Amino acid sequence: MRALRLPAWKTEPELVEVDEPTPGTGQVVVKIGGAGACHSDLHLMHDFEAGAVPWNPPFTLGHENAGWVHTIGAGVTGLEVGQPVAVYGPWGCGVCARCRVGADNYCENPAAAPVPGGGGGLGLDGGMAAYLLVPAARHLVPLPEGLDPVAAAPLTDAGLTPYHAIRRSWSKLPPGSTAVVIGVGGLGHLGVQILKATTAARIIAVDNRDEALRLAEEYGADLTLRSGERTAEEIRAATGGRGADLVLDFVGVDATLRTGAAAARTLGDLTIVGIGGGSLSVGFFSVPYEVSIQTTYWGTRPELVEVLDLGARGLLRPKTTTFTLDNAMDAYHRLQDGTLEGRAVIVP
């Protein structure tokens, strides 16, 4: 079969022939229906180098995957050939306290995982191929009726990651609250929808692209603002001087982090989701009192079940553009130059 593989750090992926996978005991091979192209893949291609993460190329790209059960290894129960499934992306050890409750994204024994701190498309072969070998059946979540693999694939990361970041702040988002989404890209446009579907917060979307702000309005943002030096002041003006109860930074560069800290309300949350490489200086007087600042990584398997339910009910509608495997690099080039709205999905 053909696969889009990253041969080495700081190189362009290559479309090459590889062997079809065969499942071992407890494993499952999934026929890929859709594999999302993520902005983090660009960091793998252009920024990472040996030692940055505890794994190295070569491997097949694609960590947002959904499809159909193709073949089942010995000992696997509860799945049937042909059954539509989504692949939970973080592959932990399966036995530590975090993994036992489905939080493989925060596995506490990564040395015992299939790949430390990674998964398919992140150290091991991912879904930009006809078939994907999943090392344990527990990483598969059956798709609810009404949700096809092309729509489900981006929900496994671009939906799950903002859902996890928002869910942890639900208690701070009652009627009268405000949530700010900085960066209305592949994750941010789903973040707006998740806030709309699961909270009563007023939603302010921030971006420097007019088309992104129009997309935010389409998906339910109450106010859109162009990113700039005065954005934090504009957020405070729009909230009666109080600031935002939750700021979600899907960019993560110095400027957006400063905006988020300046716009946050006392007792609010500033959650950094984007891996833009920025940093924020924190001192006693530099942020509002009792603002919690945190980073998040992906989400849990039980949360993925909830995300897929929202998707099947039409409450989460990822804006997708599909590409063939032959044209997969076109998707990454558009992602790189900022001309892609929403999420690209590779259909092998």
Please report, for the chain, the start and end positions of each structural domain, with discontinuous segments joined by +: 2-158+299-346, 169-295
Adjacent-strand bridge partners of 35: 65, 346
The CATH code of the domain at 2-158+299-346 is 3.90.180.10
- 52 has pLDDT over 90: no
Strands 131-134 and 202-207: unpaired
- 51 has pLDDT over 90: no
Amino acid letter, 247: V
User: Residue 58: its pLDDT value, please?
Assistant: 97
Adjacent-strand bridge partners of 272: 249, 295
Return the structure tokens found at 334.
């558009």
CATH T-level assignment (fold) for domain 169-295: Rossmann fold (3.40.50)
Measure CA 54 to chain center: 20
> What Rg value do the Cα atoms of the chain yield, rounded?
20
Sign of the alpha-carbon dihedral angle for 226, 231, 236, 237:
negative
Mean of pLDDT values over 4-31:
97
Rounded distance, CA 106 to CA 94, Å?
11
Residues in the chain: 348
Q: For residue 221, what pLDDT band results from cuts at 50, 70 and 90?
A: very high
pTM: 0.96
Mean of pLDDT values over 255-278:
97
| pLDDT, tens digit (0-9, with 9 covering 90-100), for 125-155 | 999 999 999 999 999 999 999 999 999 999 9
Amino acid letter, 198: T
Q: For residue 45, what pLDDT band results from cuts at 50, 70 and 90?
A: very high
Rounded distance, CA 207 to CA 46, Å?
24
More confident residue, 52 or 297: 297
- 341 has pLDDT over 90: no
Share of the chain above pLDDT 70, in %: 100
Mean of pLDDT values over 77-84:
97
